[in-house]
Amino acid sequence: MARSFSELRKSRKDELAKLTSALDKMESGGRPKDDRFWAPTVDKAGNGFAVIRWLPPAEGEDMPFIRFWDHGFKGPGGLWYIENSLTSIGREDPVSEMNRKLWAQGEEGKKIVSGDQANDRPGTKRRLHFVANVLVVTDPGNKDNEGKVFLYKFGAKIFNKLKEAMSPEDVEGTPEELRTKAINPFDFDEGADFIIKIRQVEGYRNYDKCEFSKSKPLSTDEGRLETIWKQEYPLKPFVSEENYKPYDELKQKLDRVMEVEASRQERAQALPARATPEPRSRAAETVRESAPADDVGETESEGLAFFEQLAKG
């Protein structure tokens, strides 16, 4: 930002690059970086490695993680829809409603919802995310992150690793032996380092090789543990109603992205002059008979009962 006319004139050569960068972010749906979040670094081949420690619930909170859904897709005209889903807070969401109608219409609708890889078209179904506080133990891609507390956003694959650590059902042994092998990943004393191993498999990041090391205390220094705990970020705002846009605002944006108004005008112009479209019944607007209660294609195992039980002690 120029503070004087002379400064403006001197900086004019840099303005084109700034504008181009800003436009690229707008067109790609980019958002400003949130420095609270950490992500492991991957190399040019798509492989990555890091070690983290999952942290207990932050001050004033009951759970060590939150879960939410969002949508991120490009409409037929090139506009992006990148918004959190109101289903995260138990409300109806316009994209979820659209997906149910599309799914009920047959194969073409299912392609839009699930995505058509042949045409490089992203799906409109909601994406599941989790957020938790972590301590970065090892980060080969950025050593400055080591020893610091960050928020970490992850998906169902890593979530299932957490479940398996808490309830190792696939391990051989008696029920009592299984209970002794189970760990609380979010505990300062009984937790364990989590080794993140990222591989590129068929064009996608794969987390199958991630694993826990042997259980051990994060530290025996109570002062250090308290310092780490006080550095944690609150998670409740991610699922607070005031941080979600209202339904009507999301519906208007969805209509713009999907070019609903343009399609309606084209259909109206194609009708004979004396013909008028018959009114659609409310039942026709809320077709659900062949779609599940939530978004179509949701296959991630949530397992929230494990963490609810953990929070209760």
Question: Which of the pair, 8 or 197, is modelled with greater confidence?
Answer: 197
Q: What is the pLDDT of residue 107?
A: 85
How far apart are the C-alpha atoms of 101 and 109, rounded to whole Å? 8
- Asked if residue 213 lies in contact with residue 185, where contact means CB atoms within 8 angstroms, the answer is no
- Phi and psi angles of residue 159, each rounded to the nearest 5 degrees, phi first: -55, -40
- Asked if residue 73 lies in contact with residue 95, where contact means CB atoms within 8 angstroms, the answer is no
Q: What is the pLDDT of residue 306?
A: 45
Q: What is the pLDDT of residue 178?
A: 46
pLDDT exceeds 70 at position 70: yes
Q: What is the pLDDT of residue 296?
A: 34
Please state the rounded mean pLDDT for residues 44-60: 95
Task: State pLDDT tens for residues 104-156.
Answer: 988 888 888 888 755 666 789 999 999 999 999 999 999 999 999 999 999 99
Q: What is the pLDDT of residue 293?
A: 32
What pTM did the predictor assign?
0.70
Task: State pLDDT tens for residues 226-261.
Answer: 999 999 999 999 999 988 999 999 999 999 999 874
Q: What is the 3-state secondary structure (H, E, C) of 99-162?
A: HHHHHHCCHHHHHHHHCEHHHCECCCCCEEEEEEEEEEEECCCCHHHCCCEEEEEECHHHHHHH
Q: What is the pLDDT of residue 29?
A: 46
Q: What is the pLDDT of residue 283?
A: 31
How far apart are the C-alpha atoms of 281 and 85, rounded to whole Å? 26
Question: Which of the pair, 307 or 6, is modelled with greater confidence?
Answer: 6
pLDDT exceeds 80 at position 28: no
Running DSSP on this structure, what letter comes out for residue 47?
A: -
Q: Please state, rounded to an integer, the average pLDDT across all residues of the chain.
A: 78
pLDDT exceeds 50 at position 280: no
Q: What is the pLDDT of residue 115?
A: 82
Least confident window among 7-11, 36-40, 186-190: 7-11
Task: State pLDDT tens for residues 176-209.
Answer: 544 457 899 999 999 999 999 999 998 889 999 9
Q: What is the pLDDT of residue 26?
A: 44
Q: What is the pLDDT of residue 173?
A: 52
What the chain holds in terms of domains, given with CATH numbers, is 32-267 (3.90.198.10)
Q: What is the pLDDT of residue 207?
A: 95
Q: What is the pLDDT of residue 180?
A: 55
How far apart are the C-alpha atoms of 81 and 102, rounded to whole Å? 17
Q: What is the pLDDT of residue 226?
A: 97
Q: What is the pLDDT of residue 114?
A: 87
C-alpha closest to that of 127 among 92, 95, 103, 98: 95
